[in-house]
């Protein structure tokens, strides 16, 4: 008898290797090493074969890192071959890449194996900022993106703002450089100095709250004026169809399978993460940590994901999940948020306004505390 396969939309694959360690990054990562890489990909493929037995084919697959583009052609091809067995015919299939790694060989491989979206971590076009974050500042991005487009049109670019001494003029120039590239999606994050990053150790100072807000408002305005719609706090797309379906799946609090060292997954009722130790991962020791979602944390997850979205959530989705009416459960809070112009409610939806989104955590605490 054949086991009935579980239906989950999204699959995330983590590649924890990097050539350079970015000073702002607090992810688990290792300097690349051929032997580790080989063993790692071998393990990953074994796991993927298991996943294939248990789950239906995926609507979105995302290879993130670390730096997936650092993989050797052989490892990359082996991984992609396996993933091709797990994808639906129509699948948003994304890979993250570092500008330094992108060459015709890489692009040919990913194209050949059906990758149809690429996310490039440029972070900034400003030479002194690039130096500060240890990036190659000699790349001609205009030429690079032109080349990528020949292979893959659906593209995201990551930018970061809020560096020390960065001025509004610097930011404006970064945005102009981006806009000139005519790319359909951008993720733009304010620099956060997290524990575990080099900046943290160096006591790098985050941008002051008021200034950060000023930068954020500037970005929102400028990108909107240039045809980008902000659909999540830090994500903008030219058209609805260019929104990241994979990330939307997270933000709608839906299930996803995560595989690879330090990756996260959500298979109801478990949220889990893989070990952060490479040797444990390779030896299959203490592999997974689980958190069972309970009714209380379920609500917290529901709000902290859905409220990131410009469109918030459908009231009927809330009712379906929690068997009660959202407006009844949170009447006082909802009314005060609406009164203060931090949120709006329609017949179908509840969502935060621009003013609300930018203080999301402040609002979330009110929901958590209610």
Partner 1 sequence: MNYDKSVIRNFSVIAHIDHGKSTICDRILELTETIEKREMKDQILDSMDLERERGITIKLNAVTLKYNANDGKTYIFNLIDTPGHVDFTYEVSRSLAACEGALLVIDATQGIEAQTLANLYLAVDNDLTIIPVINKIDLPSARIDYCREELTERIGIDGDGAIPVSAKTGENIKEILERIVSDIPAPSGDNSNPLKALIFDSYYDPYRGVVILIRVKDGKVKVGDKILLMRSGASFVVTELGIRTPKEISTKELNCGEVGYLCAQIRDIKDVDVGDTITLFDYPAKESLPGYRKIKPMVYSGIYPTDSRKYGDLKDALEKLCLSDSSLRYEPETSQALGFGFRCGFLGLLHMDVVQERLEREYGLDLILTSPSVIYKVYLTDGSVMNLDNPSKMPDLTLVKQIEEPYVKAQIMTPEEYIGPIMQLCQDRRGVYIDQQYFDATRRVLVYEIPLSEIIYNFFDKLKSYTKGYASLDYEISDYRVSDLAKMDILLNGDVIDALSSIVYKKDAYKKGLKLVSRLKEVIPRQQFEVPIQAAINGKVIARADVKAVRKDVLAKCYGGDISRKRKLLEKQKEGKKRMKMVGSVELPQEAFTSILDIGEDKD
Pairing mode of beta strands 229-232, 235-237:
antiparallel
Which of 38/204 has CB closer to partner 1? 204
Residue 223, both tokens: 């990108």
CA distance 92 to 111: 13
Q: Among candidates 161, 158, 165, 154, which has minimal Cα distance to 141?
A: 158
Q: Name the minimum Å distance from CB 336 to partner 1.
A: 9
Q: Name the minimum Å distance from CB 73 to partner 1.
A: 25
Which of 79/358 has CB closer to partner 1? 358
Q: Name the minimum Å distance from CB 214 to partner 1.
A: 9
Which of 10/184 has CB closer to partner 1? 10
Q: Name the minimum Å distance from CB 315 to partner 1.
A: 22
Which of 283/365 has CB closer to partner 1? 365
Q: Among candidates 307, 284, 304, which has minimal Cα distance to 293?
A: 304
Q: Name the minimum Å distance from CB 2 to partner 1.
A: 29
Q: List residues near partner 1 by CB under 8 A.
A: 12, 14, 27, 64, 187, 189-190, 192, 209-210, 212-213, 216, 233-234, 247, 250-251, 256, 258, 263-266, 271, 273, 291, 297, 300-301, 304-305, 308, 340, 357-362, 364-365, 368-369
CA torsion, ordered 10, 13, 14, 19, to nearest 10 deg: -120
Q: How far is the CA of 189 from the CAs of 70, 219, 364, in angstroms?
A: 23, 11, 19
CA distance 193 to 143: 32
CA torsion, ordered 90, 68, 308, 170, to nearest 10 deg: -120
Q: In what order do the strands lie in the sheet with 288-292?
A: 229-232, 235-237, 185-190, 155-161, 117-123, 87-97, 58-65, 10-15, 256-259, 264-267, 270-274, 288-292
Partners of residue 10 on adjacent β-strands: 60, 256
Which of 181/307 has CB closer to partner 1? 307
Task: Please compute Rg for the chain using Cα positions.
Answer: 21
Q: Name the minimum Å distance from CB 297 to partner 1.
A: 7
Q: Name the minimum Å distance from CB 210 to partner 1.
A: 5
The per-residue DSSP string of 45-88 comes to: HHHHHHHHHHBPPEEEEEEEES-GGGS-HHHHHHHHHHHHHHEE
Which of 109/267 has CB closer to partner 1? 267
Which of 180/276 has CB closer to partner 1? 276
CA distance 69 to 118: 10
Q: Name the minimum Å distance from CB 12 to partner 1.
A: 6
Which of 151/216 has CB closer to partner 1? 216
Q: Name the minimum Å distance from CB 189 to partner 1.
A: 4
**Residue at token pair 């008898």:** 1
Which of 99/265 has CB closer to partner 1? 265
Residue 111, both tokens: 């194209």
């Amino acid at each position: 008898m054949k086991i009935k396969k579980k239906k989950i939309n999204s699959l995330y694959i983590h590649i924890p290797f990097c050539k350079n360690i970015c000073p702002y990054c607090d992810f688990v990562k290792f300097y690349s090493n051929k032997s580790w890489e080989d063993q790692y990909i071998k393990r990953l493929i074994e796991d993927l074969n298991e996943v294939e037995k248990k789950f239906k084919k995926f609507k979105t697959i995302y290879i993130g890192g670390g730096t997936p583009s650092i993989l050797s052609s052989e490892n990359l091809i082996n991984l992609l071959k396996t993933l091709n067995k797990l994808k639906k015919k129509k699948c948003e299939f994304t890979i993250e890449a570092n500008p330094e790694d992108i060459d015709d060989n890489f692009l040919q491989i990913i194209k050949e194996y059906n990758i149809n979206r690429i996310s490039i971590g440029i972070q900034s076009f400003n030479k002194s900022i690039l130096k500060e974050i240890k990036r190659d500042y000699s790349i001609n991005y205009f030429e690079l993106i032109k080349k990528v487009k020949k292979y893959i049109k659906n593209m995201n670019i990551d930018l970061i703002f809020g560096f020390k001494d960065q001025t509004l003029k610097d930011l404006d120039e970064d945005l102009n450089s981006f806009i000139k590239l005519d790319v359909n999606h951008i993720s733009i994050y304010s620099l956060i100095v997290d524990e575990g990053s080099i900046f943290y150790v160096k006591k790098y100072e985050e941008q002051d709250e008021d200034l950060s807000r000023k930068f954020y408002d500037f970005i929102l305005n400028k990108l909107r004026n240039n045809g980008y719609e902000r659909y999540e706090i830090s994500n903008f797309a030219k058209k609805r169809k260019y929104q990241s379906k994979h990330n939307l799946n997270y933000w709608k609090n839906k299930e996803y399978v995560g595989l690879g060292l330090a990756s996260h997954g959500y298979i109801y009722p478990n949220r889990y993460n893989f070990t952060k130790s490479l040797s444990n991962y390779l030896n299959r020791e203490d592999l997974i940590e689980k958190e069972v979602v309970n009714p209380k944390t379920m609500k917290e997850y529901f709000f902290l994901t859905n409220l990131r979205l410009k469109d918030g959530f459908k009231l009927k989705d809330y009712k379906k999940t929690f068997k009660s009416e959202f407006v009844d459960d949170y009447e006082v809070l909802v009314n005060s948020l609406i009164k203060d112009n931090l949120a709006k409610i329609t017949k179908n939806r509840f969502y935060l306004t621009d003013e609300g989104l930018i203080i999301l955590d402040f609002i979330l605490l009110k929901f958590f505390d209610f």
